[in-house]
A and B are shown apart, each in its own frame.
Chain A
Amino acid sequence: MAVLSLVARRLAAALVLLGALSVITYGLLVASPGGPEQVLLGTRPSTPETRAAIRAEYHLDDPFPLRYAHWLGDAVHGDFGVSIYSREPVTDVIADRLPVTAGLAGYALLITFAVGVPVGLVAAMGRGGLLDQGITLGSLVLLAVPPFAMSILLLYGFAVALGWFPVFGAGDTFMERVTHLTLPAVALAAAQAAMVVRQMRAAALDLAGQDFLTFARARGLPRTRVWIGYALRNAALPVLTVGGLLLAANLTGALFVEQAFGLHGLGALLIAAVSQKDIPVVQALVLFGGAIVVAVNLLIDLAYLVVDPRVRHGAVAL
């Protein structure tokens, strides 16, 4: 019961959030310089006929709520209109770019966790030792280097000097895609892994002092059981939260890395759309980004439900 009501509450909240976001997004068009007409015309010649055509196509003569309802109805069906720049449907433009960014984000997240969680645990186990200090220092350095600088360093080191990885593009087959995306993913993951290391280390240190961990050891439980069933599972919740937020950030904000590696992803698309005043594309991207953040948060909440019985049974508020 508690679970159902929690999920229902979260879903309702997500819908409200997306609704508010869509109003603001649609407002972008109205508030754009020169008015919607001018923007939607783009580079086409401005004659009374074309302007009338635009007004009719986009229902610009209707009152705002009605226009918004029209637009929202189309958006819900996946129709965000046509890109002013390329004249292709916005949905196609985005679908074209999404695989690169999604691959990059997923890959980066994978690296972040594969490195961050064990390294954080190791640091916590050897608390105060040389290794811990080294890890702490290393993560500080990684946090301090901006992703684009990291991209350039990696490009120079591994692609130009060593020639291990391609310099440019995203590749076509799956294996090519992986090799092409490795350096960008590392560049993106470096600072994030550092963040997860710090988070994991703090969570594990917090756990190390807990009686239940000592009690587990006192019962002679195997080491794997103590570390995975006890330490890792209890430390998972705060780390999960960070991971989700990182995923959302990767999907929408990997633009520096995409630029540095010449990847045609969503970040590059957003920059181009903004500079070309391609409002329909911007609208779709903003709404898409918002939906991603909302969806990821919803997933984190569900993960809490799975991992923590106290949340599942409504004993503690989420």
Chain B
Amino acid sequence: MTLLDVTGLTVTGRHLVVDGVDLTVSAGETVGLVGESGSGKSLTARAVAGLLPKGMTATGSVTLSGLRLLGARERVLRSVRGSRIALLMQDPFAMLNPLITAGAHIAESLPRTGPVRRDRAWRRTEVARRLAEVGIDDPSVSGRYPFQLSGGMRQRIALAAALARDPELLIADEPTTALDATTQHEILTLLREVQRARGMGVLLITHDLRVAFEMCDRVAVMYAGRIVESGPGFDVAKVPAHPYTSGLLAALPSATVTLPRLEGIPGSVPSAGDVTGTCAFADRCSQVDADCGHARPPLREITPGRHTACLYEVRPRPRVEQPPAALREPSPGAPLLTIDDLSKRYGEHTALGGVSLSVGEGESVGVVGESGSGKTTLARCVLGLAVPDGGRIELAGLDLTRRGRRGDRAHRLVQCVFQDPSTSLNPSLTVGATLAEAAAQGTREGRLSVPELLDLVGLPASYAERRPRALSGGERQRVAIARALAVRPALLICDEPVASLDVSVQAHVLELLRTVVRDLGTSLLFITHDLAVVRQITNRTVVLLKGKIVEEGKTPQILDTPSHPYTQKLLASVPPTP
């Protein structure tokens, strides 16, 4: 029985963002809506719940078991929201009211009319029951405020609040993106259990193909505001019927094999309004031909329940058979960076409790851990942004721990690429000015010019004129890498450099980092929570847990045969790569 029926949904703000989306969700079914940032998937979800941001309008048709939602009065929508459609959002740190307790969130969401008397005692037992449903058995949690709970706990509370009025349909918009890998796994498992127990329909919105395939009965892939492919999750994963899906799958890093070459999709996502009359993917497609630009390809049925918006059959991607020696082996010798028994405390909290590690000349070392493991503190100590409480850091014979360290020399030796390129670049400087400024900090001989730096990271020299705002996320991160390499550092620290990038872009940036550090002979200290990424880029890996190293060794060994239970748990929570 079809629960939610979306036909020809179009959302327009200042530009067209969602262009003619058709979608159905049946009772008891989980449907995945997958797409990269800017594909329009979140706004599709918002439009269904009637919660579009101000200034955006939706046309088309959205019905819930025959009840028209699009164009309905706010009063009708309010009676539907919560009781029939629930929306779970991405950021558990922003979704709850900071001023009221976890229990109050659930209590206020409970049904307000019903056969039983709704008194205090009823509410208390009901809140406890709802908490138990989302796996919280400790009744004291109900009296805590959001800021006293972890991200995973908050997401559980939010789920309980969203489900409090027993909706038929749950729209979950990236419910696990802001969480650690192990927490993500727990929440997804919980979501699936609750969905099965209630026989509820779920529309899961995610950018992560692996999550979608693991969780969903059916998957729809969105690109530039439209659906380009849909079908049963298993089929889409095995035989993608659209070149975009196929490209996304190829770009996925794997935690189980080291790929010889990481391939992203060339180019960037067009605006939905610019490609209304053509195939949206034509400009980036490897098998494009004249017909693709003539008319918009309709979503055609290939087999029952399986649709694609591509005119052709997707050619299998050529498998590049290369020897798996893509990663250079470091030359044995004196280590470049030696960290000995490093410790750092913030008040009561121990960020680093005696960490020792070394990075060899030309070696790439991964530091893996979840939030709170101390991995960023480690990076900050090496960079001189935080002063360690104890221990020793030595880089190329220079003691970095002492306070009056020679700043200039240290900065020429070590540089950093941060997570978010949209905030790590000065928005008022052109790319050229940023790079020139960075290069000027280096020694005079062998200084790279701005065009050379841009060429190094695969950007055209004309980009020197642009400001960061005019670049895409991936391009910004390339500039950030070029800036870090401008002084030819011996050690490059990367703190989650691809965590905020889309899959297709992530592959490009990882491949770039891999080749650049190989060509320049730069050592790499790569900090990440993503085991698949660490597999692709590092020779050695250390696993951090609560400020202590629990396991270290060669990356393939650690990922293939983890010995510490924590590493095993981390690996088990990585969704399988199709």
Contact = CB atoms under 8 A, between A and B. Distances in A.
B51 A230 contact: no
A9 interface: no
Contact of B89 (A208, A211, A229, A307): A211
A218 B99 contact: no
9 contacts: A215-B87, A215-B89, A215-B158, A215-B162, A218-B49, A219-B162, A219-B165, A230-B97, A308-B99
B145 A218 contact: no
Given A211-B91, A218-B87, A310 B147 contact: yes
Interface residues of A, number: 26
Contact of A216 (B83, B91, B97): B97
Contacts of B54: 127, 208
A1 interface: no
B95 A212 contact: yes
Interface of B: 49, 51, 54, 78-83, 86-87, 89-91, 94-101, 108-109, 145, 147-148, 158, 161-162, 164-165
Interface stretch (A50-58, A160-168, A174-182, A220-228): A220-228
A245 to B, nearest CB: 22
A309 interface: yes
B145 A310 contact: yes
* Listed residue (A218, A233, A309) with the most chain B CB atoms within 10 angstroms of its CB: A218
A214 interface: yes
B399 to A, nearest CB: 35
A234 B80 contact: no
Contact of A229 (B82, B90, B100, B147): B100
A17 B216 CA distance: 64
Contacts of B96: 212, 215
A214 B89 contact: yes
* Listed residue (B81, B94, B99, B164) with the most chain A CB atoms within 10 angstroms of its CB: B99
B86 A234 contact: no
Contact of B79 (A219, A220, A309): A220
B82 A212 contact: no
Contacts of A211: 89-91, 94-95
A70 interface: no
A310 B81 contact: no
Nearest to A312: B145
Nearest to B100: A229
A308 B100 CA distance: 9
A205 B104 CA distance: 25
* Listed residue (B96, B98, B100) with the most chain A CB atoms within 10 angstroms of its CB: B98
Contacts of B145: 309-310, 313
Contacts of B89: 211, 214-215, 218
A218 B97 contact: no
B148 A313 contact: yes
Given A229-B108, A313-B145, A234 B99 contact: yes
A233 B99 contact: yes
Contact of A214 (B51, B100, B148): B51
B200 to A, nearest CB: 15
B83 to A, nearest CB: 6
Contact of B148 (A229, A234, A315): A315
